[in-house]
Amino acid sequence: SQSPVTVAVTGAAGQIGYSLLFRIASGAMLGPSTPVRLRLLEITPALGAAQGVAMELDDCAFPLLSGIDISDDPAVAFDGAQVALLVGSRPRTKGMERGDLLSANGAIFTGQGKALNDHAADDLKVLVVGNPANTNALIAMNNAPDVPRERFTAMTRLDHNRALAQLSAKVAAPVTDIRHMTIWGNHSATQYPDLFHAEVGGRVAAEVVDDQQWLEGTFIPTVQKRGAAIIEARGSSSAASAASAAVDHVRDWVHGTPADDWTSMAVPSDGSYGVPEGLISSFPVTCADGAWSIVQDLELDEFSRARVDASVAELVEERDAVQGMGLL
Ligand code: NAX
């Protein structure tokens, strides 16, 4: 049988962790024939809670789960990691300025980047979920000089899946009829969900919708602000849907995107579509043989161009802020 893949998960005692770990251990992420070894990272005060989650994982008797280790030391938790899901981060609390948020997370992601650099496996793949996800990934990547840059990604798959769901409801077609959805830019309210390249049953989604008012006034803001709407309705932020998106992201990265489709991942830019090189920005990507590549040569009309540019400008601002703090 296959040898286990080592999966490190940070923020393991948090809300997303509570959904994510069970999906990973069940085989939903790496497939039904790949055993997994979990390595959980938490801050010291949450180690007891992480232990409780590990007890529940044990109680599931998952056939694919070959072991669980828990630590509050990134050097231990990332030892031999082949997949690292960086979920834990410092949430924005009342009265906290954006600069405070960036610097609190800067401390976390510089340290975790260095620990990944020194202790993870050679075939490491990193997904950053903790917000601000793109910039946290940028910080980790820049603090892991020995890890190839393309191994660092951030999550916009939840936004992508939200866009699929909104479009599916609008056109009354199943999500399986939709191809080529794209989220461009930052995982934030400036992100641009693009219906001009998406297709429903092989036709351009924007044309199937045929309602610019809905596209601009409903679809785009609904996807951009869905996180806030979930908090409003549920009293806590998206957790199971975020975990599901993380599973989708890693599964497609490892096992490949379907031949007739692409997905959205925030990845280090190579300058494609005018996005400054090295920024972690969301693009349409295909995956094959464990590597992603940015879909090339899509035409962006003026409407799309302006929205991509606005979100990328926000990423540049965040990069400049953390660069100014000496975090890169
Ligand atoms: P929770 O606050 O429930 O859990 C976070 C956990 O991380 C806590 O248990 C905390 O102790 C732990 N933690 C904090 N600092 C840590 C460190 N240095 N090392 C290890 N663990 C650490 O948050 P949850 O709802 O699980 O969300 C986690 C993160 O995902 C947040 O930053 C959130 O903003 C972000 N999200 C990102 C999304 C995306 O699409 N990219 C969507 C969902 C979610 O909002």
User: pLDDT (tens digit, 9 = 90+) per residue, 161-183?
Assistant: 999 999 999 999 999 999 999 99
> What would the two tokens of residue 19 be?
């959904």
Dist. CA 272 → ligand 1 center (Å):
30
Q: Which of 119, 160, 187, 197 is catalytic?
A: 187
pLDDT of residue 1: 66
Active site residue 119: no
Q: Give the pLDDT confidence of 275-305 residue by residue, as tens digits.
A: 999 999 999 999 999 999 999 999 999 999 9
Per-residue model confidence (pLDDT) at position 121: 98
Phi/psi at 31 (5° precision): 105, 160
Strands (DSSP E) contained in 82-175 are 83-86, 125-128, 152-154
- Flag whether 203 is marked binding: no
212 annotated among ligand-binding-site residues? no
For the CA of 239, the closest atom of ligand 1 is 25
How large is the ipTM?
A: 0.98
Q: Is the CB of 132 under 6 A from ligand 1?
A: no
Q: Tell me the HSE value of 178 on the side-chain side, using a 13 A CA sphere.
A: 28
pLDDT tens, residue by residue, 183-215? 999 999 999 999 999 999 999 999 999 999 999
> In testing the pocket of ligand 1, which one of 131, 161, 244 has its CB within 8 Å of the most ligand atoms?
131
The minimum-distance atom of ligand 1 relative to the CA of 18 is 26
pTM of the model as a whole: 0.98
**Rounded CA separation 29/21 (Å):** 10
